[in-house]
Amino acid sequence: MTERNPVFDMMKGVAILLMVLGHCRISDSLHHAIYLFHIPMFFIVSGYFYKPKAFGALFKADLKRLILPYLIFSAVVFLKFFVDAFRLQNFSTLPTFAVSVASGNFGVGPIWFLLALFWCRELFNAAGCSKWGIAGAVLVSVVVGAFGLNVEHSLGFFEGVSVVIFYALGFLWAKKKIVVHAWMALLGVAISAVAFFGCGEMDVHMLLYPLYPLNVLGALAVTFSLYWILEWASRFSALRNSLSFLGRASLLLLGVHYTEFMLFDWYAKIPDAVLVAVLRLMLDVLVTLGLSRVPIVKKVFF
């Protein structure tokens, strides 16, 4: 059994922190830079760790790993909305949120990612690991992403299809069909700059790829560059262990952030946007760290 590469866990750690930061009051330029790559990088890393399974076995495992947390996080938010509805005698939010959860539409918030990852994994696994199976899955993914094909209330299915291309690249990376060299990282910086200035902001949840080829290349370029940087940084054990933990705990951190994002606006009256971003990052990480020590939480999220 090959040793797990900690750099990929570090990449997930960076990506989940950037997700939290992307939901803070930040400049348009920083927001654009984050959305250039952070969601695609999640799927690339997930694809790297993919192991082929029988369809039924993977489906059952992902129901527990992805759909159960989706329902748990949704239930927590719905319970708060339910209490507030009786307290304020305003029940309008309940059916709206229930429809969002049942359909996976924009109102469900950041956990749309879990639905997209679920479908992405099932589709990629169904395609098989043969050359032609992967090629067919990637072709469908490109068509859906490039043309923004979507059907409302599809439970994240089309978002999941659109990111299969990134998942497949992660899988090929693990199979050493892709090797990242230092020169690729340097080239990636140049491509990233072109993507940043040359195309609009990508939003996977909205199936928004303003200039699809450049959006995809930009995401890959930043991911390869970040891998090279983190590979060097992994020699520092404190940084490696911290980011690796956040990467392994990214599902739990997503849920913590989702709860904070949907239910609490404690930071609304703090005028300093930088301070708010730092405080929200610290809060989400500390709560995640605390919850990770609870046995039942460890069983579900790790």
pLDDT of residue 302: 85
Question: For residue 246, is it within any domain?
Answer: yes
CA distance to 12, 94, 102, per residue, from 98 (Å)? 30, 6, 6
Question: For residue 224, is it within any domain?
Answer: yes
Token pair for 292: 């990770």
pLDDT of residue 2: 55
Structural domain containing residue 173: 6-295
Question: For residue 301, is it within any domain?
Answer: no
Question: For residue 302, is it within any domain?
Answer: no
Q: In terms of DSSP H, where are the helices of 204-294?
A: 212-233, 237-248, 250-263, 273-291
pLDDT of residue 105: 87
pLDDT of residue 16: 97
C-alpha 93/C-alpha 206 separation (Å) is 22
Question: For residue 1, is it within any domain?
Answer: no
Q: Which residue stretches of the chain have pLDDT < 50? A: 1
pLDDT tens-digit map of 19-45: 999 999 999 999 999 999 999 999 999
pLDDT of residue 88: 87
DSSP 66: I
Question: For residue 118, is it within any domain?
Answer: yes
pLDDT of residue 129: 67
Q: How many domains does the chain have?
A: 1
C-alpha 104/C-alpha 157 separation (Å) is 9
Question: For residue 300, is it within any domain?
Answer: no
Backbone φ, ψ for residue 240 (5° rounding): -60, -45
